[in-house]
Structure 1
Amino acid sequence: MKQRIFMYLFVFAMLLVLFQFVNSKRVFEDMNNTIGDYKEQLQSYKDSIVNMQHNLTEVSHFNLEKNEDAISYFENQGYNVSDLIPAIKDELYKLNEVKDEHPIVPYAASEGKRMMINTIKLLNHKWIIADFTDGKYWGEMFMTYYINEDRSIDFKVVESFLYPFD
């Protein structure tokens, strides 16, 4: 009788060990699959980051803040570039406050509205791209700027266009 109890206990213990082995093997394989998926996702994210950094480098190519030659030009004239960039933009935005027609935008606004400059991008130490709108019509312009000895800024529109209204 004692021998049968030990045999039943032995068989029960073997079944328990077998169950634990099969269950842990399944859990281990599931975890490996999950880790493999995470590794693929991680590689995809790394590729996306590299692609975004490349795109950022391309987009910031024509940007005064990233153009060492243009920055050197202003520094050689004694300007602090970090203060100068906002000052140039502020001067352009101040022109939005002028009564009647905008002094820089070469197009008249629709009735009851005013053309205003929305976005400004300084390309280098001489060129600016800006867009403008009156809420109905919009366009873009390419202009040059010059900083006078008295630190006033002159703007000259070189080219502009107005998008067609549908």
Structure 2
Amino acid sequence: MYLFIFTLLLVVFQYVNSKRVLDSYEGIIAKKDRLFEKEALKFGDTISALRDQVLNLSEFSVMNSEPALTYFEDRGYRVSELIPFIKDELYELNLVKGEEHPLIPYPALNGGKMMIDQIRVLNHKWIIANFTDGKYWGELFVSYELTEDEQLNFKVVEAFLYPFN
């Protein structure tokens, strides 16, 4: 009889203790779930904002301009090969001998040479690029034309150098 009572007390004790531990873990899990839901909502908003930003940035891109893509395709060019070719031709102008860049109308003020850093092909006629000499920088608005003999002609439409500090 004592053994039965002792076993019953032991089972009740184990049940109460296990229930308390289980409730404690459920409370911790519930807190973490609420925290994860808040973070997921915050990250969801961040992802949504980044998608909007990507959409805005891709708005002025030759790859998202159907008329520009059609223009190139009608002339028999593969856009996936042509755009890197155009960028490479502009970057190769950085390698021209001499102190002045063929397209950048400003001399280097830092003792180096002005060089094109980044290029964005806007459509089938225009490019925007930025340039720097390592300390000073500016931007170019360039028009380009692909001739019948597949030569690229660049013409600087507008350029500016950011003010010195």
TM-score, normalising length: structure 2: 0.90
- The aligned counterpart of 2:122 is 123
Q: CA deviation at 1:5?
A: 4.1
Q: What amino acid is the match of 1:134?
A: D
- Counterparts of residues 44-123 of structure 1 (less than 5 Å): 44-100=42-98, 101-110=100-109, 112-123=111-122
8 A Cα contact 2:121 2:128, kept in partner = yes
Counterpart residue number, 2:24: 26
Pairwise CA distance, 1:46? 2.3
Paired amino acid for 2:37: K
Whether the 8 Å CA contact 2:110–2:135 is kept in 1: the answer is no
Residue 110 of structure 2 contacts residue 133 of structure 2 at CA under 8 Å; is this kept in 1? Answer: no
In the other structure, the counterpart of 1:6 is 4
SS in 1 for 2:77: coil
Distance 2:111 2:25 in 1: 71
Q: Which moved more, 1:32-41 or 1:81-90?
A: 32-41
1:144-155 aligned within 5 A: 144-155=143-154
1:40-74, CA deviations, whole angstroms, 9 ceiling, x for partnerless residues? 22232222222211110111110111211111111
**What displacement does 1:4 show?**
4.1
3-state DSSP of counterpart to 1:142: strand
**Structure 1 segments unaligned to the other structure (5+ residues):** none
Distance 1:44 1:97 in 2: 47
Unaligned 5+ runs, structure 2:
none
Q: What is the root-mean-square deviation of aligned Cα atoms in Å? A: 1.6
Distance 1:103 1:117 in 2: 11
Shift of 1:75: 0.5
SS at match of 1:30: helix
Number of matched pairs: 164
Query: Using the alignment, how far apart are the partners of 2:77 and 2:136 within structure 1?
Result: 37
2:157 pairs with 1:165: no
What displacement does 1:77 show?
A: 1.1
- In the alignment, is the contact (CA less than 8 A) between 2:110 and 2:136 conserved in 1? no
- Farther-moved stretch of structure 1 (9-18 vs 64-73): 9-18
Larger radius of gyration: 1
